[in-house]
A and B are shown apart, each in its own frame.
Chain A
Amino acid sequence: MAKFRLLPDEYLARSPLTQLWREFSRQHSAIAGLILFSGFFLLALLSPLITPHDPYLQNDALLLLPPSWSELGLVQYPFGTDDLGRDMFSRLLVGARYTFGIAMITVLGALIMGLLLGTLAGMSRGVKSSVFNHVLDLALTIPSLLLAIIIVAILGPGLLNTTWAIMLALLPQFVHGIRNAIAEQLNQDYVIAYRLDGANNWQVFSRIVLPNIWERLTLMATMALSTAILDIAALGFLGLGAQAPTAEWGAIIADSLDLIYVAPVGVAIPGLLIFLAVLSVNLVGDGLRAAAKKRREN
């Protein structure tokens, strides 16, 4: 005989978010990634307040100062200065705004647009949705760098223009993913039950579909974020994205490349920062994915 229980298990009684956090916090790598990620996030928000020097101030008395761990360095300039006498440390701090911050804005923009278009595609049926899919198939196939080249050719180089390109390049995967997630949800029995209760499309979407797909949305966003950071840095490096004085990490590497023998720090540290930023996003994403899987299994 089935046992009647007024309250479910202690574990099941917790909210999904708490369960997810429990599973997430059990993974050391995910927590390390989250700490790193929060660090970059705070840096992107607060970096102008904490830079010791003006990142764009050219000091011709201190050109190409070596980092402070070498004997010729100054302690006020931890990573030395570049060939125009700008403080490398401040430039790197501000760079978090461009590479990491703008990548986040790009992903957010793509996510919102993707949610709109994906919902339209997922809730509609027939010819409209099939035409939509085919257009997406085309958009998915154009490599992001090629898309960026085309947009730069039309609008000219610049961080903002490449941001549009990256957003456009990220959009199809969001729309595809969201469309599939919504279509999957609409097939569930609880949606039918809710519809029989008299719920309209908007209520079904906001009360049932959205709470059930946010986990997948976050996952998609983390995957897109690592792509966005890599793309922004690569475009900055190629000289198509952020332009010369802007302290974007990829652009700093391109600037320091001629001086790689004299000042290898200028290539090593920005690259390391890009790597750490992408790594933190990937660790958080992997941790979330594993946690979400475990939560669903329980």
Chain B
Amino acid sequence: MILYLLRRLVLLAFVFIALSILAFSLGYLFPGEPWQNFSGLRSASSEQLAQLTTLYRLDQGYIAQYLAYLTRIFSGDWGLSFASQQPLLQEMLTLLPATLELAAYALFISFFIGIPIGIIAAVKPDGVLSKLISAIAVTGYSIPVFWWALLLIMLFSLGLGWLPTAGRIGVLYEVNHVTGFMLLDILLSDSHHQQEALINALRHLLLPTLVLATFPTTVMIRFTRDSMLDVWEQSYIKTARAKGLNRGQVLYRHGLRNALLPVIRQIGLQFSTLITLAMITEVIFSWPGIGRWLIDSIYQRNYPAIQAGLLVISTLVISVNMLTEILHTLFNPLARKR
């Protein structure tokens, strides 16, 4: 296991080096001068330019420039945003929690609704209930997320007027940025209107979470169902039945434990799709997260922001991937052999 972890860590380091090389080369690939893309300054006086050249080692070879870039990344100097002229790292650190909050709730729903429904669908694979669940699942992962979001907004916000269409919380409430997670921040604040603020934030949260959760939940239903059906045909299930265990015991002790192993892995594989969907959802619901910020950056030709966004989002996805893989190996001794 330790050897396995070490190998994973080496791989992780390798992947991060490749990622940083990609992000560095974007400075050259994007339109505009490399010093503009690295610093985020639109124009510079001649002495500023000379200063940047020495700082970024632009007069030296690519390897020296790359090393200078790495030092800057690690020291937290990520350059400025073209649009706001604010430091990028700080800007992203305020935006990232909003995206994480949305993605985390969607993942949570997919876990706690998708898996049980998938198991129910696997109990009688040819029954009416199972067919119905499968039909709903295939509808759920076929629906384009932006259209689904528009339909729900039309129905619940514009038609019925139950839920707000955009933002994280009403403009009347002021919540201090502590953790960046809205619900936590509200609970941490000691205002008189905590209760109202919480309800308001939840109302804002409901539609985006529902939209974002649709795809992972339905994929999870199908995956759990298939995985369950696969495991149910294994010979150790027959053995367990032959031993005289009843259906529930077999399901819990032998079926679930084996069927849910690939599900852990699936979370890691689905995470990158989830982030793509979160970006689209954020645009539609004007959710102040990193996805909307990135898509705005492309409209504004804000190249330093795209470069930084690539680093942050990919690091996030890679870490989640690696974590689920390690968890999978931890729970599944068979996977350690490789």
- A residues apposed to B, CB below 8 Å: 29, 134-135, 137-138, 140-146, 149-150, 152-154, 226, 230-231, 233-234, 237-240, 250, 253, 257, 260, 264, 267, 271, 274-275, 278-279, 282-283, 286
Q: List 6 A-B contacts (CB under 8 A).
A: A137-B11, A143-B317, A146-B276, A240-B295, A271-B151, A282-B138
A231: chain B residues within 8 A (beta carbon): 276
Q: Are A142 and B14 in contact (CB under 8 A)?
A: no
Contact B298 A152 (CB under 8 A): yes
**Does the CB pair B146–A237 fall under 8 Å?**
yes
Query: Which residues of chain A come closer than 8 Å to B18, judged between CB atoms?
Result: 134-135, 138
Kindly list chain A residues whose C-beta atoms are within 8 Å of the C-beta of B321.
Answer: 140-141
Specify the chain B residue showing the minimal Cβ separation from A281. B142
| CB of B306 within 8 Å of the partner chain | yes
- Chain A contacts for B310, CB-based, 8 A: 142, 146, 150
Binding site for A on B (CB under 8 A): 11, 14-15, 18-19, 26, 29-31, 135, 138-139, 141-147, 150-151, 154, 272-273, 275-276, 279-280, 283, 291, 294-295, 297-299, 301, 303, 306, 309-310, 313-314, 317-318, 321
What 3 A-B pairs come out closest when comparing CB atoms? A271-B147, A279-B142, A145-B276
A226 touches B142 (CB 8 A): yes
A149-B306 contact in complex given A143-B276, A238-B280, C-beta closer than 8 Å = yes
**A149-B298, A286-B138 given; A142·B272 CB < 8 A:** yes
**In angstroms, how far is the closest chain A Cβ from the Cβ of B321?**
6
| A283-B138 contact, Cβ under 8 Å, with A134-B11, A154-B29, A267-B150 | yes
- Please give, as numbers and ranges, the residues of chain A lying within 8 Å of B318 by CB-CB distance: 138, 141
Cβ contact within 8 Å between A253 and B317: no
Best-buried of B11, B30, B276 by chain A (most CB within 10 Å): B276
**C-alpha gap A140/B303 in the complex (Å):** 23
State whether B306 touches A150 (Cβ < 8 A).
yes
Bound state CA distance, A145 and B14, in angstroms? 23
Interface secondary structure of A, over-half rule: helix
| Complex contacts, A138 vs chain B, CB 8 Å | 15, 18-19, 318
A153 in contact with B298 (CB, 8 Å): yes
Q: Are A146 and B309 in contact (CB under 8 A)?
A: yes
| Alpha-carbon distance A275/B146, docked complex (angstroms) | 11
Q: Shortest distance in angstroms between B322's beta carbon and chain A's nearest beta carbon?
A: 9
Q: Which residues of B contact A137 (CB under 8 A)?
A: 11, 15
Shortest C-beta distance, B174 to chain A (Å), equals 31
Given A134-B11, A137-B11, A240-B298, residue A142 in contact with residue B317 (CB < 8 A): yes
- CB nearest to A134 among chain B residues: B14
Minimal beta-carbon separation of A98 from chain B (angstroms):
14
Chain A proximity of B287: nearest CB distance (Å)? 15
Contacts of A279 in B (CB 8 A): 138-139, 142
**Contact partners of B141 in chain A: CB under 8 A:** 282
Closest beta carbon of chain B to A179's beta carbon, Å: 14
- State in angstroms the CA–CA spacing of A140 and B272 once bound together: 8
Shortest beta-carbon distance from A135 to chain B in Å: 7
Partner of A143, one of B15, B143, B275, B301: B275
Distance in Å from the Cβ of B80 to the closest Cβ of chain A?
A: 17
Residues of A contacting B144 with CB < 8 Å? 230, 233-234, 250, 271, 274-275, 278
The answer for the CA separation of A260 and B149 in the assembled complex, in Å, is 14
Complex Cα gap A233–B283 (Å): 15
Known contacts A141-B318, A142-B272, A143-B275; A149/B146 CB under 8 A: no
